[in-house]
Copies of this chain bind each other. A is one copy, B any other.
Amino acid sequence: MSAVEPLSFGPVEPAVDALRELLGERLSTATAVREHHGHDESGWPVMPPDAVAFPQSTEEVAEVARICHAHRVPIIPYGTGTAVEGHVQALHGGVAVDLSGMNRVRRVSTDDMDATVEAGVTRKQLNAELRDTGLFFPVDPGADASIGGMVSTRASGTNAVRYGTMADNLLSLTVVLVDGRVVRTGGRARKSSAGYDLTHLFTGAEGTLGLVTEITLRLHGLPEATSAAICAFPDEDAAVRTVIETIQCGVHMARMELMDALQMRATNAYSGLDYPERPHLFLEFHGSESGVREQAELVQALAAENGGADFAWAVYEEDRSRLWQARHDAYPAALQLRPGCRPLTTDVCVPISRLAECIRETRRDLEALPMPSTILGHVGDGNFHVIILCDPDSEDEIARAKAVNEGIVYRAQDMEGTCTGEHGIGQGKIAYLRREHGEGVSVMQAVKDALDPLGLMNPGKVLPPRA
């Protein structure tokens, strides 16, 4: 279909020479550097790039792209390496473009409640720089990911239920195209009907359409009042019913997270806590003093009807930080349940009305496995994750975990949900894209061919091989 035979790349050496001339010591071919850039936090095997470039400006990124394009060498954008579906592996070699040196917050407007940041700024760095403004950036995927990476995976996390995902919090992007042209996708108006929506086209494209180098974001006012709590339930079903009823009552929750009983055991051990080893909801409320009180009372009543008890409140900021740190550490905590294991994670999202059923059937799948696994997630969005802890030397365990993962994906898709709520496709979900999007995949491929006809941008990710 493509004008050019796909995946016919050029030799990398002349590109590396030209890049070294451009960047000097900011071009590395050291083995350790290459291997570090050859994997994310998933279990996908390391595939190091041939070289790693560390540009410091959009203009340098454009020059890097021009050189790689001229030599037909793959280009793989790299943020913090915290993706979990095999997003950054250099499957066909090429040059990783590490954007961590582009870490300046370029402007903040408290009047317009927006900011422009370079792609390598991390979410914690941004919020630290916003500390005295009364504003914050809410999207929180757990890891201290780069904002550019969060754009590229269409990330969300714990408080998307109130503040939306990355896609909902963007005003515009600066993107370097494969041939070095630079596009700014919009201005700073809150809304625009001017032409095709390029901002959302590059968001979630995982670096396969271009390199995101700058982002203009919406910020939000810090809530007047914040309150957080965790609450134990007799079983997952009761916890999930409470979530569904809360959402359906129109309570504007800030966060609404589930952790199952085994995940609680792991979290207690990892974070030095002693919560009951039962399914818990982690909750946070934002609003005015009276609004937070109203919401909290309503949710407590709904929880009580479902057998939820022992609300442990965290009113002070340090208590809340500890609570959410424990939630964010769920992944490393789970890994400690089986030291040395190979984790297989998944991430699906379904309409909220199907969530209880989806988790119930997933639990049944997991109970049939001989190895440990946990369920946790952003259930207020209908989004949950499963972590299955495999013996890395057991082909049988890995095969069974993959089969269960596939079953979970199919179930979510059959419930009009999605194979990934927030992690992205990477390598891990490519096999499911066509089942979810059908003819839409050919539209995606046509767009890919239009913007990257040589197939140089992060090859082997997102789009399945052509039929």
Cα(A429)–Cα(B387), bound, Å? 51
Q: Of residues 51 to 97 in A, which have CB atoms within 8 Å of B's CB atoms?
A: none
> Which of B160, B187, B197, B248 interacts with A200 by CB under 8 Å?
B197
**A196: CB under 8 A from chain B?**
yes
Q: Of residues 161 to 213 in A, which have CB atoms within 8 Å of B's CB atoms?
A: 165, 167-168, 177, 181-198, 200-201, 203-205, 209
> Which of B154, B188, B194, B429 interacts with A197 by CB under 8 Å?
B154
Give, as a whole number of angstroms, the nearest-CB distance from A160 to chain B: 6
Residues of chain B contacted by A436 (CB below 8 angstroms): 187, 194-195
**A221: CB under 8 A from chain B?**
yes
Cα(A422)–Cα(B349), bound, Å? 31
Residues of chain B contacted by A418 (CB below 8 angstroms): 186-187, 189, 191-194
In the complex where A351-B114, A439-B183 touch, is A195 in contact with B188 (Cβ < 8 A)?
A: no
In the complex where A114-B351, A444-B198 touch, is A417 in contact with B187 (Cβ < 8 A)?
A: yes
Q: Of residues 435 to 455 in A, which have CB atoms within 8 Å of B's CB atoms?
A: 436-444, 446-451
Residue contact A420 to B194, C-beta cutoff 8 Å: yes
**Chain copies in the assembly?**
2
Residue contact B193 to A422, C-beta cutoff 8 Å: yes
In the complex where A195-B437, A203-B197 touch, is A189 in contact with B421 (Cβ < 8 A)?
A: yes
Give, as a whole number of angstroms, the nearest-CB distance from A297 to chain B: 12
Cα(A250)–Cα(B418), bound, Å? 34
Residues of chain B contacted by A437 (CB below 8 angstroms): 183-185, 194-195, 198
**A361: CB under 8 A from chain B?**
no
List the B residue with the shortest CB-CB distance to A380: B190
List the B residue with the shortest CB-CB distance to A290: B290
Residue contact A352 to B190, C-beta cutoff 8 Å: yes
Residues of chain B contacted by A382 (CB below 8 angstroms): 189-190
> Which of B168, B184, B353, B441 interacts with A111 by CB under 8 Å?
B353
> Which of B112, B155, B441 interacts with A195 by CB under 8 Å?
B441
Residue contact A438 to B195, C-beta cutoff 8 Å: no
Report A409-445 CB contacts with B as 1/0, cut-off 8 Å: 0001100111111111100010011001111111110
Of A160, A193, A443, A449, the most chain B CB neighbours within 10 A belong to A193
Residue contact B191 to A201, C-beta cutoff 8 Å: no
Closest 8 CB pairs of A and B: A200-B200, A192-B418, A450-B450, A111-B353, A221-B250, A189-B349, A188-B416, A446-B450
Q: Could you tell me which A residues sit within 8 Å of B by CB distance?
A: 109-114, 153-156, 160, 165, 167-168, 177, 181-198, 200-201, 203-205, 209, 221, 244, 248, 250, 288, 290-291, 294, 349-353, 381-383, 412-413, 416-425, 429, 432-433, 436-444, 446-451, 462-463
Q: Can you list 13 A-B pairs, Cβ within 8 angstroms, ordered by A? A: A114-B351, A184-B438, A187-B417, A189-B350, A189-B382, A194-B420, A195-B433, A195-B437, A195-B440, A196-B447, A198-B444, A290-B290, A290-B294
